[in-house]
Amino acid sequence: MLRVARCYSLARTKVAHNYSTIFRPEYALKCGLEIHTQLSTRNKLFSQSTNSSTPLVDVPNRHTSFYDIALPGTQPVLNLEAILFAMKLSLALNSQVNSVSQFDRKHYFYGDQPQGYQVTQHYRPFARGGKINLSKELDGIDESSKDISIVQLQIEQDTGKSHYTDADKDVITLVDLNRSNVPLIELVTNPDFNDIKQVRAFIKKYQNLVRHLHISSGDLETGAMRVDVNLSINGFARVELKNLPNTSSIINAIKYEYQRQVELISRGETSSLMEPETRGWTGSSTVKLRSKETTIDYRYMPDPELPYINLAPDVMSRVKESMPQLPDDMMRMLMKKPYQLSLKDAKILTYNSNQNDMYNHKVLRSYYLETFQEFFKLVGEQGSAKLPTNWIIHEFLGDLNKLHVPLIKAQEILPPIVFAEFLKLLHAETISPTSGKLLLFHILETFQRSNCRDRSIPDFPKLIREFELHAIDQVDSQELVSLCSDIIAQHTDDTFIRNLTSGKKRTSLKFLIGQGMRRSQGRIKASEFEKKFKEILDIQW
Amino acid sequence: MYSRWRLCRIHIAGGFNHFGSHRLASTEGARIGKKFENMNQIKDFLSEPVWSVHEYLATNVGEEKLKLPPVEVLKKLLRLSGLPLEGADIEGIQMRLAKQLSFISRLHNIPVNGEEEMKEYDARLMKRKTTRLSYEKLLEGIDHQTQDVELGEVSGSWKATGLAAESKNEYFLVKEGLLKNRK
């Protein structure tokens, strides 16, 4: 397992290294995406059977109704939760929702599609238009701003899952229909991407958006989000890339296909690029799946069993009112005054990775914002915005991860108002940062040892006294001189002193201060040490 | 003439509903008639000689006026259909196909009376005007979702693979040939 991970990371480094060299301006890349997103509704799209959130561990065919496996005589009934979720996404993307949309049948035969057709929206989709804006500031693309426009959003049902096996003598396909009839939204973009950074940024942004709206887990690894890529170079025919299970596959498949086509074009062998084709990703190369000759005729027809979706105007206006602030607006708010967060910190508060059990971005953000407010109530305008940022996002979260204490639990003993008190101690230099770190870790560790049951609010003054953590305001000058002299004697030689006093190697002073902080366990301020060392060594700069 | 559209909802022994439709039309237009009540009515209806294919074919359209599909298109269609090119009566097939196309285009041109507007997406047997869904009704519908054990909606309440002739470890089985070696 470890070996696989290592190979994978090496491969990634190699590709990343090649990135800047493979794209050539004379071969213009044009890309569009087709993204299928599973909606996390309670039940399935046209039946009320369970839409499981743990598909990887479920017993096969356990969450299947008679409709899901297409027993004769069963009929579809629309799950309205899918309409609500689709409305949220359409509004977030600024798409125009059709007041009347409809379901249609797309026919094709496959083992994991028991009906012989997929119910989708072909003639009148749920919404059309809309965009996602990418920017240099927030998404790290090369252009200062770029809109990726959306063609349409349609609601449709997922198929079952096929597991191919040739372990048996008789080669068979195992079919699990738990996923059959799970609601999906298919989003199609225009071919607006011309750079791989834009593709990566779009996927990340869209993934975060569906998580933010609580309409999907957005996980590529479990198949909750699946991305197909349409790609063409210098106006040649479009190639569709499928079977791309994660972001690195998507990126590597685009790079591979780009290089493959550039080679064909540069050799003048463009006959195979004249007609559209569909290619799959094997993990290291793209292979042809279908060409124009084998295109399937889906024989679309309006579904005769499902009434039109006819939405009253208040559906849009009321859902709009209930929408949360969107991630981009939130990021911009956090990066401006009074918070002034860095892009990285703003992302920690806005992007949900689904990968940290200790906190989620929503709880963390409201904790941060509340603490920030309480802190400024206590210290007034003189407070530094950096203090709550550094102590919550870095120290506090770091401790929680180390001790495996969830934020939601830790809040019971350190609610925002108490954490603001703690920050005030640092602001007033009642304790030094080093002592603050010790104190915070001690409080959380004690809480963890009680199995998060001892919910008493920490008494900071008592703890500071008990552990003698208070900063030393009145440092005994003689004591400080002898401490500094001792450090100089232990850690320096003539060359060191010469380089330091001449100003040739000024950073050496920081080293001495660090030693001082260590010896005093952070209770004497760095500025005191700086002053004293300069005095003793007669440093003039 | 015999201008009728008929919608039937036939109750079949065994209990499930099945929609069927008949579309009969002539140059005079089309309409939806009364619904069929039983199988005999359908049989009677179908046994009436109501129209003749000749009405739309050679008798009305002279062979010399038919627009023949190009030979290249025809050959491609034969290839797609898996039919032999060798020894094929290309001219004969061209003529037959031209007649069929002319027939279909005549059907497309039949005026459909009584409908102000006909759209492709309306071509189905459901109400074209449906009740509007309000925000309140939407939330109500979401809150009142219940799983019906009678429809197998409760997880684990029945064994889906129990109906299959073959299954393996709770999976349905599909022989690979069906999936991969399709033409």
- State pLDDT tens for residues A89-103: 999 999 999 999 999
pLDDT, tens only, A448-504: 999 999 999 999 999 988 887 777 766 778 888 888 888 888 888 888 888 988 888
**Segment among A186-195, A413-422, B55-64 with least mean pLDDT:** B55-64
Q: What is the pLDDT of residue B13?
A: 33
Residue B147, both tokens? 């799983």
Q: Round to whole Å and give the CA distance between A449 and A209.
A: 37
**Hey, what amino acid is at B77?**
L
Peptide linkage before A338 cis (omega within 30 of 0): yes
Residue A105: beta bridge partners? A119, A301
| pLDDT averaged over every residue in chain B | 74
Chain A neighbors of B120, CB-CB under 8 A? 123, 302
Burial class (CB in 10 A: 0-12, 13-18, 19+), B141: middle
Q: What is the pLDDT of residue B11?
A: 32
| Pairwise CB contact (< 8 Å): A62 & B155 | yes
Q: Round to whole Å and give the CA distance between A115 and B114.
A: 34
Mean pLDDT score, A408-428 = 94
Asked if residue A280 has pLDDT above 70, the reply is: yes
> In terms of CA atoms, which chain B residue is nearest residue A50?
B155
Asked if residue A45 has pLDDT above 60, the reply is: yes
Asked if residue A505 has pLDDT above 80, the reply is: yes
Per-residue confidence band for B26, with pLDDT thresholds at 50, 70 and 90: very low
Query: What are the angstrom distances between the C-alpha of A433 and each of A298, A376, A395, A423, A440?
Result: 67, 19, 10, 10, 10
Partner A, chain B 160-179, Cβ-Cβ below 8 Å: 160-161, 163, 168-176, 178-179
> In terms of CA atoms, which chain A residue is nearest residue B161?
A61
Partner A, chain B 65-94, Cβ-Cβ below 8 Å: 80
Partner B, chain A 294-313, Cβ-Cβ below 8 Å: 301-312
Asked if residue A241 has pLDDT above 50, the reply is: yes
Q: What is the pLDDT of residue A269?
A: 87
Q: Full-prediction pTM beyond 0.80?
A: no
Contact yes or no for A190/A151 (Cβ under 8 A): yes
Q: What is the pLDDT of residue B127?
A: 74
Partner A, chain B 106-125, Cβ-Cβ below 8 Å: 120-125
Q: What is the pLDDT of residue B62?
A: 62
Residue from the list B128, B133, B151 with its beta carbon closest to the beta carbon of A65:
B151
Q: What is the pLDDT of residue B107?
A: 77
Asked if residue A4 has pLDDT above 80, the reply is: no
Q: What is the pLDDT of residue A10?
A: 36
- Give the closest residue to A84 by CA, choosing from A299, A297, A319, A267: A319
**Hey, what amino acid is at A220?**
L
Asked if residue A18 has pLDDT above 60, the reply is: no
Asked if residue A11 has pLDDT above 50, the reply is: no
Phi/psi for A35 (5° steps) reads: -115, 125
ipTM of the complex: 0.78
Q: What is the pLDDT of residue B94?
A: 92
Q: What is the pLDDT of residue A214?
A: 94
Q: What is the pLDDT of residue A16?
A: 41
Cβ contacts of A14 within 8 Å, gap of 6 or more: none
Query: What are the angstrom distances between the C-alpha of A242 and each of A165, A279, A282, B155?
Result: 21, 6, 10, 32
| Pairwise CB contact (< 8 Å): B15 & A73 | yes
Q: Round to whole Å and give the CA distance between A225 and A182.
A: 13
Burial class (CB in 10 A: 0-12, 13-18, 19+), A310: middle
Phi/psi for A279 (5° steps) reads: -125, 150
Q: What is the pLDDT of residue B116?
A: 61
Contact yes or no for A440/A398 (Cβ under 8 A): no
Asked if residue B178 has pLDDT above 60, the reply is: no
| Pairwise CB contact (< 8 Å): A111 & B179 | yes
- Name the percent of chain A lying above pLDDT 90: 64
Burial class (CB in 10 A: 0-12, 13-18, 19+), B165: exposed
Q: Round to whole Å and give the CA distance between A180 and A44.
A: 9
Q: Round to whole Å and give the CA distance between A35 and A294.
A: 23
- Give the closest residue to A328 by CA, choosing from A20, A92, A119: A92
Q: What is the pLDDT of residue B183?
A: 39
Q: What is the pLDDT of residue B17?
A: 34
Residue that is written with structure tokens 């208040």 in the block: A314
- Give the closest residue to A257 by CA, choosing from A479, A29, A53: A29
